[in-house]
Amino acid sequence: MSDVIGSVLYTREQIETRAQEIGKQITEDYKGEKVILVGILRGAVMWMSDVMKNVDLDMTIDFMAVSSYGSSKKSSGIVKINKDLDTNIEDQNVIIVEDIVDSGITLNYLVGYFESRGAKSIKICSLLNKQCNRKVDLSATYVGFEVDDLFIIGYGLDYDQRYRNLPYISYLEDEED
Ligand code: IMP
Ligand code: MG
């Protein structure tokens, strides 16, 4: 059975505008300080590239890859590190760049991980926030857009590794049967 793609929720232009606003906000918030943006592969790549071009600070980037087991539409709750940081983040201002905060389990785990590595500060910059599905007490400081209880695809977000290339945010329609 083939997937049915829903309507466009947020266009590329809307996302780029939000990235400009958030990049400016980060620039103000960390004035005079250094930051490291840590992108979470692979979903955050488009959003990360949009945000970073709007940050006017002394900054570096790194990436991590994590997975919660399985390829279904639900997070399993078990987080596994597939690619660790290449950077020592001790005493650094870390901004975690994510595609979506859903249950919050992945980011909750990562915040704890960065704390254990001695980060000076840790904030989250997520393209999307799906508040209705939160399972842990966690909120992102910088959020592009709120989304409802839908399975989101596009602009980096996948279903079974597909649709990351869509230049807008959409969702998968519920299967009929
Ligand atoms: P968590 O439930 O907050 O731990 O989300 C973990 C990861 O699940 C996110 O970083 C996404 O990669 C993925 N995810 C959660 N909700 C969606 C969605 O609606 N579409 C695509 N991926 C999602
Ligand atoms: Mg994913």
Cβ–ligand 1 distance for 79 under 6 Å, the answer no
Tokens matching residue 152:
């989101």
Q: pLDDT value at position 75? A: 64
Give the closest residue (by CA) to ligand 1 atom 9: 100
A 10 A CB-CB count for 3 gives 14
Q: 75 C-alpha to center of ligand 2: Å?
A: 9
Report the chain's mean pLDDT, rounded to a whole number: 94
| 109-119 pLDDT per residue, tens | 999 999 999 99
User: Tokens 């990235």 appear where?
Assistant: 19
| Mean pLDDT score, 58-80 | 81
Token pair of 9 as six digits: 């929720």
pLDDT of residue 67: 87
Single pTM value for the model: 0.94
Report residue 169's pLDDT band, with 50, 70 and 90 as the boundaries.
very high
143 CA distance to ligand 1 centroid (A)?
Answer: 15
Tokens of 94: 């870390």
The ligand placed nearest to the CA atom of residue 73 is 1
Q: Rounded CA gap, 99 and 45, in Å?
A: 8
Percent of the chain surpassing pLDDT 70: 93
Report how far ligand 2's centroid is from the alpha carbon of 40 (Å).
10
- Establish whether residue 101 lines the binding site of ligand 1, counting it when its CB lies within 6 angstroms of any ligand atom: yes
CA 97 – CA 114 distance, rounded (Å): 13
Q: Over 70: is that where the pLDDT of 69 sits?
A: no
Q: What is the mean pLDDT of residues 123-150?
A: 96
Residues forming beta bridges with residue 96, ordered by sequence position: 38, 124
Is 74's pLDDT higher than 80? no
CA distances 164 to 37, 45, 99, 127, 177, Å, are: 21, 9, 11, 14, 26
Ligand 1 pocket residue status of 156, Cβ below 6 Å: no
Burial of 155 (0-12, 13-18, 19+ CB in 10 A): buried
Alpha-carbon distance values, 4 to 92, 148, 152, 164, 174 (Å):
43, 18, 12, 15, 8
pLDDT band at residue 5 under the 50/70/90 scheme: very high
Q: How many residues does the chain have?
A: 177
The burial class, CB within 10 Å (0-12 / 13-18 / 19+), for 2 is exposed
Convert the pLDDT of each residue in 29-47 to its tens digit. 999 999 999 999 999 999 9
Is residue 1 predicted with pLDDT exceeding 80? no
**Distance of alpha carbon 167 from the chain centroid:** 16
Decide if pLDDT at 70 tops 60: no
Tell me what the mean pLDDT of segment 49-71 comes to.
91
